[in-house]
Structure 1
């Protein structure tokens, strides 16, 4: 192992609270040395919000830290242990290609994990090389920044470093490391690991740590572990509703890919839906469609049931009573999700108040969109500006009937027509990271070393509700030959 040099820097304000947990939860692990690190992407807006120094991160010293070649003084690098259900099958997992270098404390006192993804082999690599290719790391950078701009809780990408290595996947690919920023990397799978491989004291230790870090508002509750379950369920219901409202498909909703904090995490074979179809699957490994767009709420509920199972010893001393408490809370997910989704869909249609028939109005529109293969994002954009395009949906008799019912519905609220339009503009993005535009940016960067395409794309994605002239290019649909799209994990 190459000896790491400790760097004294004023850029990061590091703490290592996770390293204070029992040793079962992690393994101390330095990142691997890389031969020729080069900074190719740096997130200036994130740098500002974290109170970091862009000049330092661009310097040779900063690049060495972002590549893992040097370690900041005070850092305790570690790989986290976790388990999880992958496509329904339980297995032991862990950070197989990522190292947590510490927790940055912002000037406002907020705590964020700083993790190097693609930083080499760890004890949890399970035969993998621990490395990452440039394309998937840039993909995570693009999609996570788009999600953040859309107002969806997410991990974010601070930087991408090329390593000067060639790594083997389906061919030789340029290696890269992504610096990921997260509220934490505690997952449902972390609790599954504690429940299966730890003891009740270690499970309680993890739960207490999670409460103190993310849910301090429930720390003094009579049954704080029940409150923890309630809070996690609530956040996930809101998160999945936000995914559905913009047509985002995660691709691998394994329990190890569900963050307790309620952030979207692990952008592997994810993508955004063009044509509305609940059965849409992009992931090359999701042969059965387990994680299709329309299944995401059900899978979230299933994952939360697995989380609730881990908490049973903490919920009540009587196992039957603990099970009843857990079942009651998990069953609440469906209604919480439905409420969040309906609220969001009303906003997409300019509806402020609530009526019992709103759900039917929304479902009828979606059914027509599915029948006529309408683009999800562009349909709502067209409705926002009342610009019905010349397509099968808008030309149909059934849509015209629906349109009249919708317009009548808008009259049954005190808000003005202009207020409804403004609500729709703030709820229906003009731009999403469409798959063919993502690939366009990645091809220019990876194959040609041209990052200007990605930079312009990111700039347009940073204001998704602007409806600017520049965004029209990114809202165009792919050619028919590009619509059979598949994504890959990149591992």
Structure 2
């Protein structure tokens, strides 16, 4: 790339407000110090100014030519050496002892307005020693998808990595054909994954495991450091964070699509939006990922896979949990057993809120299961069914908008009788209940057909106005937005998207 006449070796770099971050103080075997790979003609597609301000960064600078150079990987922030992080992982159940950031570089750390550390990473920034023969680049389509879905998840209140910027590179990448290239700037509480611990455990690196665990405790779960067994407390905290996270996925019909252990963050944030999607019609076995031929990561399997992944973390941590292996295994098993109760607590509470139930009764989950089963048999839309329930609170039997979403409305009517009877046992007025239901049941989600239409406009025509409009709608998922009501509609038969693809 010398012909570009771009100097990316200057360690001084522009003053972005990003610092090196303390992950670089861990042992060198945890990462590779790497140089950025410049691109020919970067163009800023979108800068998330609100997030930049939250991070304490100068949005005007980032939008300038000098800031664009940083977001495109053409210049490093001042006094920052980019890092490619090492990790391993189980991919569809098969262990790969070395994965790592093959197309991503950590370009610094920000201390946000709340005083929390946030990693800033470029995805699609070029080869590293973890690239395994890949080009280290990203195509525009997956960059737009990750930007859209991560920001939609944030607006829904679900813990997630965030999108700071999307940049086109002016170069082509080659997958099944030539595609325009892009770089995505991701912000995360950290990029420590279950697979990071597996990487060290696979090498018998107890010293490294301890250093990583101590770092993770200090960064994410400082209260664990005061416990009698801080490493067991770390495991318990990650179990709890994942239980709450997956429950929230399930409550909005989100399917991650590739829950490999290298795609599960110990901070409890959703990370790595590849073949992810939101369900249209409810069906528990729904799979969108083109590579998940056996349905390992189907919607209904997500809680079970989360436990499986956490068991792999527990295995990696065994040398730190106790000096005696049997005692370590016993402690790990006890921590893992807490997942189910924590998950059910979060899911049940969320489902009650979705149904407008403001108190708890033993029969509530049978009522919820009855609705889901009826939705499944009748091909009812997941998002619209729950949203419209709130609109039908005052509707008489056999009336209302919800029943029209069911192929056989009478089956919904039968369930609605039981639901209305349950609501009658509470004293809240319909207006209060409706407001509460609207606050948890979104009207707008990133429908697959809408996301694909945005991608096609950007890739085929360099038209990013649909991208901007969709982001605007998804920023207010619980609002009515009557002028944008078409974005709430499920796809027509010819618009349905049945497969989504990884971003590599």
Residue aligning to 2:72: 67
Residue aligning to 1:412: 425
1:39 equivalent in alignment to 2:44: yes
CA contact (8 A) 1:149 1:461 kept: yes
Pairwise mapping of residues 245-324 of structure 1 onto structure 2 (< 5 A)? 245-324=251-330
Residue aligning to 1:87: 92
CA contact (8 A) 1:132 1:175 kept: yes
Alpha-carbon separation, structure 2, partners of 1:390 and 1:368: 11
Pairwise mapping of residues 373-388 of structure 1 onto structure 2 (< 5 A)? 373-386=379-392, 387-388=400-401
SS in 2 for 1:158: strand
Residue aligning to 1:215: 221
SS in 2 for 1:381: helix
Residue aligning to 1:441: 454
RMSD over aligned Cα atoms: 1.4
CA-CA distance at 1:393 after TM superposition:
2.5
Report the more deviating stretch, 155-164 or 7-16. 7-16
Residue aligning to 1:99: 105
In the alignment, structure 2 segments of 5+ residues that lack a partner are 393-399
* Residues 315-353 of structure 1 deviation map (CA, whole Å, 9 limit, x = unaligned): 111110110110111111111111111110100011111
SS in 1 for 2:269: coil
Alpha-carbon separation, structure 2, partners of 1:6 and 1:19: 15
Residue aligning to 1:200: 206
CA contact (8 A) 1:277 1:370 kept: yes
Q: How many residues align?
A: 491
CA-CA distance at 1:11 after TM superposition:
3.2
CA-CA distance at 1:16 after TM superposition:
2.1
State which of 417, 426, 451 in structure 1 corresponds to 2:464.
451
SS in 1 for 2:463: coil
1:19 equivalent in alignment to 2:24: yes
SS in 1 for 2:273: coil
State which of 40, 57, 61 in structure 2 corresponds to 1:56.
61
CA-CA distance at 1:411 after TM superposition:
2.1
In the alignment, structure 1 segments of 5+ residues that lack a partner are none
Query: After the TM superposition, which segments of 4 or more aligned residues of structure 1 sit over 6 Å from their partners?
Result: none
CA contact (8 A) 2:15 2:77 kept: no
CA contact (8 A) 1:78 1:101 kept: yes
Alpha-carbon separation, structure 1, partners of 2:483 and 2:19: 40
Alpha-carbon separation, structure 2, partners of 1:224 and 1:283: 37
CA contact (8 A) 1:388 1:394 kept: no
Residue aligning to 1:478: 491
Relative to structure 1, the CA distance from residue 474 to residue 231 in structure 2 (aligned partners, 3 Å threshold; closer, same or farther) is same
Q: TM-score, normalised by structure 1?
A: 0.97
Alpha-carbon separation, structure 1, partners of 2:11 and 2:69: 11
* Residues 391-422 of structure 1 deviation map (CA, whole Å, 9 limit, x = unaligned): 36285333222111111111223433322211
